[in-house]
Amino acid sequence: MEFTDKQAIYLQIVDYVSDCIIAGKWQANERIPSVRELAVELLVNPNTVMRAYEHLQTRDIVYTKRGVGLHVTAEAFEKIINTRRDNFITIEMPVLFNKLDQLNITFGELQQYYNKYKETHKNI
Protein backbone atom coordinates (compact mmCIF):
# COMPACT_ATOMS: atom_id res chain seq x y z
CA MET A 1 0.00 0.00 0.00
CA GLU A 2 1.30 3.44 -0.87
CA PHE A 3 0.30 6.28 1.40
CA THR A 4 -0.43 9.84 0.29
CA ASP A 5 0.02 13.17 2.04
CA LYS A 6 -3.63 14.13 1.48
CA GLN A 7 -5.02 12.19 4.46
CA ALA A 8 -3.76 10.92 7.81
CA ILE A 9 -2.17 7.48 7.52
CA TYR A 10 -4.53 5.92 10.06
CA LEU A 11 -7.50 7.06 7.94
CA GLN A 12 -5.88 5.56 4.86
CA ILE A 13 -5.60 2.30 6.80
CA VAL A 14 -9.29 2.62 7.74
CA ASP A 15 -10.03 2.93 4.00
CA TYR A 16 -7.82 -0.08 3.26
CA VAL A 17 -9.62 -2.25 5.82
CA SER A 18 -12.97 -0.99 4.53
CA ASP A 19 -11.92 -1.84 0.96
CA CYS A 20 -10.99 -5.36 2.07
CA ILE A 21 -14.41 -5.79 3.65
CA ILE A 22 -16.26 -4.44 0.61
CA ALA A 23 -14.21 -6.64 -1.73
CA GLY A 24 -15.12 -9.69 0.34
CA LYS A 25 -11.57 -10.40 1.45
CA TRP A 26 -12.80 -10.26 5.05
CA GLN A 27 -16.34 -11.49 5.67
CA ALA A 28 -18.77 -10.78 8.51
CA ASN A 29 -17.66 -12.31 11.83
CA GLU A 30 -14.30 -13.24 10.32
CA ARG A 31 -11.05 -12.41 12.11
CA ILE A 32 -8.95 -9.64 10.58
CA PRO A 33 -5.16 -9.31 10.89
CA SER A 34 -3.85 -8.34 14.30
CA VAL A 35 -2.36 -4.92 14.88
CA ARG A 36 1.14 -6.35 14.53
CA GLU A 37 0.29 -8.40 11.44
CA LEU A 38 -1.21 -5.45 9.60
CA ALA A 39 1.60 -3.12 10.72
CA VAL A 40 4.16 -5.52 9.24
CA GLU A 41 2.12 -5.95 6.05
CA LEU A 42 1.69 -2.20 5.53
CA LEU A 43 5.13 -1.22 6.90
CA VAL A 44 3.72 1.20 9.47
CA ASN A 45 3.97 1.73 13.21
CA PRO A 46 1.66 -0.61 15.17
CA ASN A 47 0.30 2.45 17.02
CA THR A 48 -0.99 3.78 13.70
CA VAL A 49 -2.81 0.53 12.99
CA MET A 50 -4.18 0.54 16.55
CA ARG A 51 -5.58 4.02 15.98
CA ALA A 52 -7.21 2.87 12.73
CA TYR A 53 -8.72 -0.17 14.44
CA GLU A 54 -10.05 1.98 17.29
CA HIS A 55 -11.64 4.26 14.70
CA LEU A 56 -13.29 1.25 13.05
CA GLN A 57 -14.49 -0.08 16.42
CA THR A 58 -16.19 3.20 17.29
CA ARG A 59 -18.06 2.95 13.99
CA ASP A 60 -19.09 -0.67 14.61
CA ILE A 61 -17.16 -1.97 11.62
CA VAL A 62 -15.03 -4.33 13.71
CA TYR A 63 -15.41 -5.79 17.20
CA THR A 64 -13.12 -7.55 19.66
CA LYS A 65 -13.53 -11.19 20.61
CA ARG A 66 -11.66 -11.45 23.87
CA GLY A 67 -8.56 -13.57 23.48
CA VAL A 68 -9.16 -14.15 19.77
CA GLY A 69 -8.75 -10.77 18.06
CA LEU A 70 -10.71 -8.32 15.97
CA HIS A 71 -13.57 -9.47 13.76
CA VAL A 72 -15.77 -7.87 11.10
CA THR A 73 -19.26 -6.98 12.35
CA ALA A 74 -22.31 -8.39 10.59
CA GLU A 75 -23.33 -4.85 9.58
CA ALA A 76 -19.88 -3.70 8.41
CA PHE A 77 -20.48 -4.00 4.68
CA GLU A 78 -23.71 -1.99 4.78
CA LYS A 79 -22.28 0.63 7.14
CA ILE A 80 -19.23 1.19 4.92
CA ILE A 81 -21.33 1.44 1.75
CA ASN A 82 -23.80 3.84 3.39
CA THR A 83 -21.03 6.05 4.78
CA ARG A 84 -19.19 6.17 1.46
CA ARG A 85 -22.41 6.84 -0.41
CA ASP A 86 -23.31 9.71 1.94
CA ASN A 87 -19.81 11.18 1.59
CA PHE A 88 -19.99 10.92 -2.18
CA ILE A 89 -23.37 12.63 -2.31
CA THR A 90 -22.49 15.44 0.10
CA ILE A 91 -18.83 16.05 -0.78
CA GLU A 92 -17.92 14.73 -4.21
CA MET A 93 -21.15 15.24 -6.15
CA PRO A 94 -21.25 19.02 -5.66
CA VAL A 95 -17.70 19.20 -7.05
CA LEU A 96 -18.71 16.98 -9.97
CA PHE A 97 -21.82 19.06 -10.67
CA ASN A 98 -19.75 22.24 -10.60
CA LYS A 99 -17.31 20.76 -13.14
CA LEU A 100 -20.16 19.56 -15.36
CA ASP A 101 -21.65 23.04 -15.28
CA GLN A 102 -18.31 24.75 -16.00
CA LEU A 103 -17.60 22.44 -18.92
CA ASN A 104 -21.18 22.58 -20.22
CA ILE A 105 -21.54 18.79 -20.08
CA THR A 106 -25.17 17.70 -20.16
CA PHE A 107 -26.65 14.81 -18.21
CA GLY A 108 -27.25 13.08 -21.55
CA GLU A 109 -23.53 13.23 -22.33
CA LEU A 110 -22.70 12.13 -18.81
CA GLN A 111 -25.05 9.14 -19.22
CA GLN A 112 -23.27 8.16 -22.45
CA TYR A 113 -19.85 8.32 -20.77
CA TYR A 114 -21.15 6.38 -17.80
CA ASN A 115 -22.66 3.66 -20.02
CA LYS A 116 -19.37 3.39 -21.93
CA TYR A 117 -17.47 3.12 -18.64
CA LYS A 118 -19.76 0.37 -17.37
CA GLU A 119 -19.41 -1.55 -20.63
CA THR A 120 -15.61 -1.44 -20.57
CA HIS A 121 -15.39 -2.27 -16.84
CA LYS A 122 -17.96 -5.07 -16.71
CA ASN A 123 -15.68 -7.80 -15.44
CA ILE A 124 -13.53 -5.76 -13.09
| CATH code of the domain containing 25 | 1.10.10.10
Closest CA to 44 of 97, 7, 76, 2: 2
Is pLDDT of 123 > 70? no
Q: Is 62 a domain residue?
A: yes
For the stretch 68-88, pLDDT in tens is 999 999 999 999 999 999 999
Q: Confirm if 71 and 30 have CB atoms less than 8 A apart.
A: yes
Give the chain's mean pLDDT.
Answer: 95
The residues near 85 (Cβ < 8 Å, ≥ 6 apart) are none
For the stretch 53-71, pLDDT in tens is 999 999 999 999 999 999 9
pTM assigned to the model: 0.83
Q: Domain containing 29: what range?
A: 9-76
